[in-house]
Amino acid sequence: MESIFANFISKQNNITQANKTVLRRLREDDPSLTQLNIDSGNDDDVLFTLIGNHWSDFGELGECIGRNTNLKALNIYIILTDNQQDEEFPYGRELSADNPRMKQAQAFFKGLQSNTSVQSLHLHAPGCNTFGLLNPFLKHNNNLTEFVIDECHEYYKWWDDFISALRDCVSLTCIKIRYMDLEGEESGEIFQVLNQHQPKLEVLEFPGNQLTRRSGEGEEALTNLLCDSTHIHTLNLCRNGINDNALETLMPQLGKLRNLDLSGNMISITTNGFKAIATLLEDSSCNLEELNLEGNNIQNERVHIFARAIAENTKLKSLILSGNSVSDAGWDLFSDVVCDTSSINNTYNSNHTLRQLIKDVSIENRDALPGHIEQYLTLNKQHDDKKKVAAIKIMQYHWRNLTMRPFFEWELKCLPVAVNWFDNVPSFPRPRCEIEMSKLRAIYEFVRGMPVECADGYFGRNKKGSKKRARSE
C-alpha cells in the first residue's frame, strides 16, 4: 500500500513539474513549442494534464496561450461533467457555473481569445457549452485554418452556439465533425452554414454521423455545397448510412474531388450504387485520386465492377477495398488491369497509376493481396513517369521475346527513341547485361524491319555532307 501511495505522489509531482514547464515555455514564447495537448485524464503522452489540484493552473494556461505567438496546434481533451451517469445524463451532468473547474475553464477560454497564432484547434468530447466560450476566439483569430470536433454527443443542448462556431471563423480550410451521430436535418443546416460562410473550405470530414437518416436535407445541402465550392477536394462520409439514393444525388459533384471516403456504409449501398461509382471512375473527367470503399460488403461478385472501371483510369492511385471479404480469386481480377502480360502491347496499355488496393493487412492475414498483384502495385509506386513504369514491366515480363513492333504501333518510329528507351530502363528488373543484349537485338530488328528508311537516312546524310564539302572547296 505504501508503495502504491508513493508512486501516486511521485506521478502527481511529475505532472506538476510538467505543467509548470509548459507554462514557462509559453510565457517565454518558446519557438519550439508549436503543439499543445490538454487532457483532463491521466495520459503520459500529453503535455498539460488537468487532474486533481492541477485544474488551478488552467486559467493561467489560457492567459499564456493568449499572449503566445508560436503555438500552432491546440488539442483540448477536457471533461466538464461530473461522474454521476444515469438514463437522463448518460455522459454525466454539466458542472455548475460556480464549480471551481468550470470557473477555471471559463478563465482559460477568456485568455485564449487573444491568441492569433493557433492554426489548428481540436475539441474532443467537450461535455459542456464549449462553443459559446470559444466564439470570441474564433471571431478574433483569422489564422485558424483547421477546426476538429470529436464526439460531442450532447450538441443539441448548445446548437445555436455550435452553428455560430462554424460560422464565425471564415478562414477555415479544413473542418472535421466526427462521430456526433448528426441526422439529416442537422447535417443539412451545417452544410448550408459552411456553404455560406466558409468560402476557403478544402477538406470536409463528416464520419460517424447519420447523413441520410429521417430526411433528404443532408444530401441536398451537401450537393449544393460541393457544387458551389471551387476548393473542396477531400470529402469523408465514412459510417454515414450512405445509400443508393444519396449517391444518386451526390454523384454529379463527386467527380470534382481528389479524395473520397465512403467506407463503413456496409448495409446501405447496393450493386446499383457500386455500378454508379464505377461509372464515375470510367469518366475521363473524374479527378478522384483516392477512393476508400473499405467495409462495404463488396465481396468477389462485385469486385469485377471496379476492376473493369479502372482499366483505363489514369488518375486513381488508391482504391481501398479491404474489409470486404475479397478472396484471392477476387483480387486476381485486377491482375490483367495493372499488368496484362499476354503481349507487350497489352502490358504497355495496362494501368500504371494504381498503387494501393488495401490499407493494412490484419494479423490473421485477411485482405492480403496475392504476391504478383502486390508486385505490380509496387512497380506502379516507384516512378511517377508512367512510360518508365511500362518499360520496367515490359523488361520484367517480355525481355526474352522483346520485338520492335510495339514501337511502330505506338508511333515511336525512330531508332534513337527506342535506344533511349532501353537506356532509361532501371537495372533492377533484369541485369544490365541482359538489357544491353535486348537493345542490340532490337536495333538489329529495327534495321532489318525498316531497311529502306535506314538506307535513305544514311545516303541522305552523306549527300548533304558531299554538297557541303563541294561548296567549301
pLDDT tens track for 45-69: 668 998 888 899 999 999 999 999 9
Using the predicted structure, report yes or no on whether residue 454 has a pLDDT greater than 60: no
In the structure, what pLDDT confidence band is assigned to residue 33 with cuts at 50, 70 and 90?
A: very high
Count of domains observed in the chain: 2
Instruction: Assess whether pLDDT exceeds 70 at residue 149.
Output: yes
pLDDT exceeds cutoff 60 at 414: no
Boundary residue ending a domain (393, 411, 427):
393
On whether residue 3 sits in a domain, the answer given is no
CATH number for the domain spanning 133: value is 3.80.10.10
In a domain, 9, yes or no: no
Average pLDDT, the chain: 84
Task: Tell me the CA distances in angstroms from 32 to 18, 23, 28, one per residue in order.
Answer: 16, 14, 11
Which among 337, 364, 393 is the end of a domain?
Answer: 393
Mean pLDDT to the nearest integer, 394-421: 61
Residues 438 and 320 occupy one common structural domain: no
Instruction: Indicate whether 360 belongs to any domain.
Output: yes
pLDDT at 418 over 90: no
Q: Which pLDDT score, from 0 to 100, does residue 412 have?
A: 45
Residues 167 and 20 in one domain: yes
pLDDT in tens, 104-124: 999 999 999 999 999 999 998
For residue 359, pLDDT beyond 80? yes
**DSSP class of residue 342?**
T
Based on the domain organization, do 271 and 413 belong to the same domain? Answer: no
Q: Ranked by mean pLDDT, which of 186-195, 377-386, 448-457 comes out on top? A: 186-195
First-to-last CA distance in the chain? 111
* Of 229, 288, 295, 285, nearest in space to 264 by CA: 295
Q: How far apart are CA 3 and CA 260, in angstroms?
A: 53
C-alpha cell at 400: 526474352
Confidence of residue 467 (pLDDT cuts 50, 70, 90): very low
97 and 233 in a common domain: yes
Say if CB 235 and CB 265 are below 8 A apart: no
Share of the chain above pLDDT 70, in %: 77
In a domain, 129, yes or no: yes
Are 383 and 409 found together in one domain?
no
DSSP code, position 83: S
CA neighbor of 393 nearest in space, from 315, 436, 335, 328? 335
Grid look-up 469486385 returns: 303
Give the mean pLDDT of 272-299. 95
Q: Which domain does 372 fall in, by range?
A: 16-393
Provide the grid cell at 66: 493568449
